[in-house]
Structure 1
Amino acid sequence: MRAVGTVHRDYKISTIDPRLYGSFVEHLGRAVYTGIYEPDHPTADENGMRQDVIDLVRELDVPVVRYPGGNFVSAYNWEDGIGPKEERPVRLDLAWHTSESNQVGIHEFADWAKAANTEMMLAVNLGSRGLDEARAFLEYVNHPGGSYWSDLRRKNGREEPWNVKLWCLGNEMDGPWQIGQKTAEEYGRVAFETAKAMRAFDKSIELVVCGSSSPKMPTYPAWEATVLDYTYDSVDYISLHMYFENHAGDTAAYLAQNARLDDYIETIASVIKVTKAKKRSKKDVYISFDEWNVWYHSNEADRKVLEGRDGWPHAPELLEDIYNFEDVLQVGCILNTFIRRADVVKVGCLAQLVNVIAPIMTVPGGPAWRQTTYYPYLFASRYGRGTSYQLSIDCPAYSTDFAEAVPYLDVSAVESDTDGALTLFIVNRHETDAIALDVALEGFGDRKVIMDKVIAGHALKAVNGPDQQPVAPVDGSGVTIESGRLTGEIAPLSYRMIRLGQ
Structure 2
Amino acid sequence: MVTARITLDRSAEIAPVNPRIFGSFVEHLGRCVYDGIYEPTHPTANQDGFRQDVLDLVRELGTTTIRYPGGNFVSGYRWEDGVGPRESRPKRLDLAWHSLETNEVGVDEFAKWCKAADSELMMAVNLGTRGVDAALDLLEYTNHPGGTHLSDLRAKNGSPEPYDIRMWCLGNEMDGPWQVGHMSADDYGKIAGRTASAMKMLDPTLELVVCGSSGSQMPTFGDWERIVLEHTYDSVDYISCHAYYQERNRDLGSFLASSLDMQYFIETVVATADHVKHKLRGKKTINISFDEWNIWYLEEHMLKSEEKREDWPYAPRLLEDVYSVADAVVLGNLLITLLQHSDRVTSASLAQLVNVIAPIVTEPGGPAWRQTTFFPFATTAALAKGRVIRPMISAPSYDTKAYGGAALVDAVATLDDEAGKAAVFLVNRSQDEPITVELDVRGLGSFGSVRASSLHDEDVYAKNTLEDQNRVALRPNDSARVDGGTLTVTLPPVSWTALDLG
Q: What is the letter of the counterpart of residue 379 of structure 2?
A: F
Tell me the equivalent position of 1:428. Answer: 428
Name the SS for the 1:217 alignment partner: coil
Q: Tell me: CA distance 1:297–1:466, structure 2 relative to 1, closer, same or farther (3 Å).
A: farther
- Greater Cα shift, 214-223 or 484-493: 484-493
- Post-superposition CA distance 1:205-261 (Å, at most 9, x none): 100000000111110010000011111111110000000011311111111111111
Equivalent residues in 2 for 1:17-416, closer than 5 Å: 17-296=18-297, 299-300=300-301, 303-304=304-305, 307-416=307-416
1:480 maps to a residue whose letter is R
The equivalent residue for 1:460 is 460
Amino acid in the other structure paired with 1:174 = D
Aligned mates of 1:303, 1:417 — CA distance in 2: 51
**Once the 2 structures are TM-superposed, how far is the Cα of residue 401 of structure 1 from its aligned partner?**
2.9
How far the C-alpha of 1:461 sits from its partner, in A, is: 1.3
Question: In the TM superposition, what is the alpha-carbon distance from 1:302 to its structure 2 partner?
Answer: 7.5
Cα drift, residue 300 of structure 1: 4.1
Q: Return the alpha-carbon distance in structure 2 between the equivalents of residues 365 and 46 of structure 1.
A: 16
Offset of residue 310 of structure 1: 4.9
Provide the rounded CA distance (Å) in 1 between the counterparts of 2:329 and 2:495.
Answer: 7
**1:383 Cα deviation from its structure 2 partner:** 1.1
**CA spacing shift, 1:52–1:301, aligned 2, 3 Å:** farther
**Deviations along 1:240-290, whole A, 9 cap, x unmatched?**
000001131111111111111100100001011111111111111100000
Q: CA deviation at 1:9?
A: 1.1
Query: What SS class does the counterpart of residue 223 from structure 1 fall into?
Result: helix
- The structural deviation recorded for 1:426 is 0.9
The alpha-carbon deviation at position 451 of structure 1 amounts to: 2.2
Instruction: Report if aligned partners of 1:385, 1:417 keep a CA contact under 8 Å in 2.
Output: no
Identity fraction in percent: 47
Residue identity matched to 1:500:
L
Q: 2:460 corresponds to which letter in structure 1?
A: L
The answer as to whether partners of 1:298 and 1:321 remain within 8 angstroms in 2 is no
User: Matched residues in 1 for 2:417 and 2:465: separation?
Assistant: 35
CA distance in 1, matches of 2:47, 2:418: 34
Aligned residues of 2:448 and 2:482 also touching (Cα < 8 A): yes
Contact 1:302–1:318 under 8 Å retained in 2: no
Task: Give distance in 2, aligned partners of 1:111 and 1:31.
Answer: 17
Amino acid in structure 2 at the alignment position of 1:35: G
Amino acid at match of 1:373: T
| SS of equivalent to 1:2 | strand
CA distance in structure 2 between the partners assigned to 1:125 and 1:256 by the alignment: 35
Shift of 1:386: 2.3
- How far apart, CA to CA, are the structure 2 residues paired with 1:442 and 1:423? 14
**1:449 maps to which residue?**
449
The answer to whether the 8 Å contact 2:212/2:240 transfers is yes
Cα RMSD (Å) of the superposition? Answer: 1.4
SS at match of 1:388: strand
Following the alignment from structure 1 to structure 2, what is the Cα–Cα distance between the partners of residues 34 and 302? Answer: 25
Query: What are the Cα deviations for residues 443-497 of structure 1, in whole angstroms up to 9, with x where unaligned?
Result: 3222133421112233111110234211101111121122211112211111110
SS at match of 2:449: strand
Q: What is the CA-CA distance between 1:433 and the residue it aligns to? A: 0.9
Post-superposition CA distance 1:34-66 (Å, at most 9, x none): 000000000000100000000000111210000
Cα 1:226–1:328 shift into 2, 3 Å: same
- The residue identity in structure 1 corresponding to 2:7 is T
* 1:382-421, Cα deviation, whole Å (9 max, x unpaired): 1123211111111000122332331101111111376231
2:191 counterpart letter in structure 1 = V
Question: What SS does the corresponding residue of 1:79 show, helix, strand or coil?
Answer: helix
Structure 2 CA distance, aligned partners of 1:73 and 1:297?
20
Structure 2 residue identity aligned to 1:80: D
* Mapped contact 2:329–2:495 kept (Cα < 8 A): yes
Distance 1:413 1:206, change over 3 A: same
Note closer, same or farther for the CA distance 1:310–1:465 as it changes in structure 2 (3 Å cut).
farther
SS at structure 2 position matched to 1:10: coil
- Per-residue deviation, 1:308: 4.4
**What amino acid is the match of 1:354?**
V
Q: Out of 397-406 and 339-348, give the one that drifted further.
A: 397-406
Question: How many angstroms apart in 2 are the aligned matches of 1:79 and 1:263?
Answer: 40
How far apart, CA to CA, are the structure 2 residues paired with 1:348 and 1:208?
A: 11
Q: Kindly provide the amino acid, as one letter, of the partner of residue 65 in structure 1.
A: I
Secondary structure of 1:354 counterpart: coil
Separation in 1, partners of 2:65, 2:304: 31
Q: C-alpha distance in 1, partners of 2:302/2:170?
A: 31
Judge conservation of contact 2:415–2:444 (CA < 8 Å) in 1. no
The CA distance in 2 between the partners of 1:81 and 1:307, in whole Å, is: 30
**1:280-323 deviation line (CA, Å, top 9, x unaligned):** 1111110000000000078348825x754251000000000000
- Per the TM alignment, residue 442 of structure 1 is displaced from its structure 2 partner at its CA by 3.2
The 1-side partners of 2:221 and 2:299 are apart by 27
Gaps of 5+ in 2: none
Amino acid at match of 1:221: G
Q: Offset of 1:5 from its aligned partner?
A: 2.1
Q: Would the aligned equivalents of 2:324 and 2:460 in 1 still touch at CA under 8 Å? A: yes
Residues 112 and 127 of structure 1, relative CA distance in 2, 3 Å threshold: same
Question: Paired residue for 2:485?
Answer: 484
Question: What code does the residue aligned with 1:229 have?
Answer: E
Inter-CA distance 297–220: structure 2 relative to 1 (3 Å threshold): closer
- 1:355 partner amino acid: N
User: Contact 2:23–2:63 at 8 Å: present in 1 too?
Assistant: yes
* Alignment CA distance shift 1:297-1:135 (3 Å): closer
Q: TM (normalized to structure 2)?
A: 0.97
User: Counterpart of 1:332 in structure 2: which amino acid?
Assistant: G
Q: Distance in 1 between matches of 2:181 and 2:307?
A: 19
Q: Which amino acid aligns with 1:130?
A: G
- Residue deviations 1:88-116 (CA, integer Å, cap 9, x gap): 00000000000100000001101111111
Mean CA deviation greater in 190-199 or 419-428: 419-428
- Offset at 1:328? 1.1
The SS at the match of 1:196 is helix
